[in-house]
Amino acid sequence: MEIINTNDKNSFDPTPRLKSSPIPIKFISFNWRDINCIYCGEKYIDTLFVLQKYCKKCLSRYINDMTNNNIYLDVYITTMDLECSEHEISRTNVPQSIGNCVRILCFKQINEPIGYFSHRGKKNDLTLYNKVIESEKYCKLCGKSLYQGTDTDYYRLKLCSDCYLISSGSIESTFVKKKISILYLPWWYNDPLCDICYLELTFTSDCQKYC
């Protein structure tokens, strides 16, 4: 992904084809170690493809509170009930209600290594994963070709470099009182550890943290 330099974070949109959500995202765990939802206390549900977690109750509330059809989430969903004909594998088209038949496959906006899939030996899950990968030949947001090589390292979910943009800039540090460099990432970061020193990050809010 190309890094774009900007010193005004308000003038740059890291996900230009996804609208900024008018409702707070409370159904995502920003710490993959969390077991229960920090908002309602319900147990988090694992997505099928990767190590991501979400709260079904809070997600249903989020969807019900939406009043328009704008695209805010980059997500794959499917039905887990063979007798349910209402839902199939879908990208960004989250149903108006999350019933028992619907399962989140993965959120592409979460930084978890979306390219890797742990199906725990379930043949049906692996078949489902391959179907999603097959549909990923072109970006569903802009139509750009996403190269899928024959090597297994390339045959995986990818972020589109035109729809997920990284920007750089600088802000004044409150600790050292001088400008420091910063990267603005287009995905949600749910790791509790620093990528550099691997120490625990300090949470300043439900979705903000620092080392």
User: Are 148 and 137 a contacting pair, CB within 8 Å?
Assistant: yes
Q: What is the pTM of this model?
A: 0.74
H or E stretch including 62? helix 56-65
Strand positions, DSSP E, the chain:
3-5, 45-46, 53-54, 75-79, 90-91, 102-107, 166-172, 179-184, 202-203, 209-210
Question: How many CB atoms neighbour CB 209 within 10 A?
Answer: 17
Distance of CA 131 to the CA centre of its chain: 19
* Structure-token pair, residue 147: 């190269």
pLDDT of residue 13: 81
Residue type, 46: D
The full set of domain ranges for the chain reads: 17-164
pLDDT of residue 149: 60
pLDDT of residue 93: 52
Task: Kindly give the parts of the chain with pLDDT less than 70.
Answer: 1-11, 79-101, 112-124, 148-156, 207
pLDDT of residue 123: 58
pLDDT of residue 31: 85
User: Are 155 and 148 a contacting pair, CB within 8 Å?
Assistant: yes
